[in-house]
Amino acid sequence: MAAETETLPIAIIGGGPAGMALALALAGHGSRGQIFEARARGAVREDPRILALSHGSRQILEWLGVWRRIAATPIAAIHVSQKGGFGRTRLTALEQGLPALGYVATAASVGAALDDALAVADIPYHDLARVERVVTGTESSQLFTASDERSAQLVIYAEGMMAADAGTVVRDYGQSAVICTVNTATPHGNVAYERFTTQGPLALLPSKEEMAVVYTCPAELAGALANLDDADFLARLQAHFGTRLKFTAASKRRMFPLQLRYRRSPVGQRSVWLGNAAQTLHPVAGQGFNLALRDVWELARNLPNAEDPGDARHLTRYAAARSQDRNATIGFTDALIQLFGNDLPLFREARGLGLLALDLLPPLRAFVARRMIYGARAW
């Protein structure tokens, strides 16, 4: 294919949920982006990952016009505890005056809703178009695929693991997450569980009639845990979790390594990084995709009908607007792993006192709930 001479206002590299949400948000503010995705377009509809969506994320997805098409299970309460120590707390939607603290949906359901909305809005989506190289210039950037070359005033990297370079911070937690779904002997009652253990956090999220499991363990143990037969895995999970639920069946297990990776700055010359391209967080507290949606919201607000969306003034304003929430969310998830991963008696007692204080003080619970729902700025 011959190279095109048109200079696009905005090129979005990545057609997953973050990239598609951004394209819709930009269109809602009068800007126009084009998506370049390495996979076939339908791949997003088969993504088995489970996403935890905060109430704040629901509000963004409602504004994008896609919420009603997402099959989401509401979270009425979150039960937080630590294994081997005292203290626990329970956050409820009723206490916070919300229909739900959050929701659980498959990435496939979210992706399908966004993809359908893109088609209705006639937003260009170039699939099987892996961007192999980007050359950044002062007036525009050149994007090269295997068969094409495009020019864009602004390039937004919206998906994919970032490279470890001078602009990134990487922390290997030495952990992996084993994920699956399980059936329970009694209904889950739309209660989510976050149980901290010395191996790592164990999360159970209500997903339709099942529970989605994120079982964190040392990386060297993950393979053996994932490959246990169902009966042995259920017994291990039951012992690890406790007796509040009885597990009766489990799906096939998958595993992935856990690291903290983030770019020191989410912007550069005619470039923006968001979603996993900007920060990859530990799944504890389920903040990753919610942070990405808040980034999407703010970026679209900063680029309405801009004559030159890649102008450094727009990007600097966006980075400043997102700095507090982004840095606080990265720090919050990292601190949870450091605090709850230490088994020294002093730390165990401090954790117990913290959970007890959270349980006894409604204003503190409200602060934590709003922080998880709306981010550090609680907008």
Q: Compute the Cα dihedral for 310, 311, 315, 317 and give only its sign.
A: negative
Give the H or E element holding residue 88.
Answer: strand 88-92
Contact assessment for residue 185 and residue 41, using Cβ atoms and an 8 Å cutoff: no
User: What does residue 210 show for φ and ψ, rounded to 5 degrees?
Assistant: -105, -175
Q: For residue range 54-90, what is the model confidence (pLDDT) as tens digits?
A: 999 999 999 999 999 999 999 999 988 877 665 678 8
Q: pTM here?
A: 0.89
Q: For residue range 307-352, what is the model confidence (pLDDT) as tens digits?
A: 899 999 999 999 999 999 999 889 888 877 776 665 655 555 666 5
CA 66 to CA 103: how far, in whole Å? 14
287: pLDDT confidence band, cut at 50, 70 and 90?
A: confident
**pLDDT score of 363:** 73
**pLDDT score of 2:** 43
- Give the domain ranges of the chain: 7-72+105-168+259-339
Q: What is the CATH number of domain 7-72+105-168+259-339?
A: 3.50.50.60
Among candidate residues 246, 250, 226, the one with its CA nearest the CA of residue 238: 246
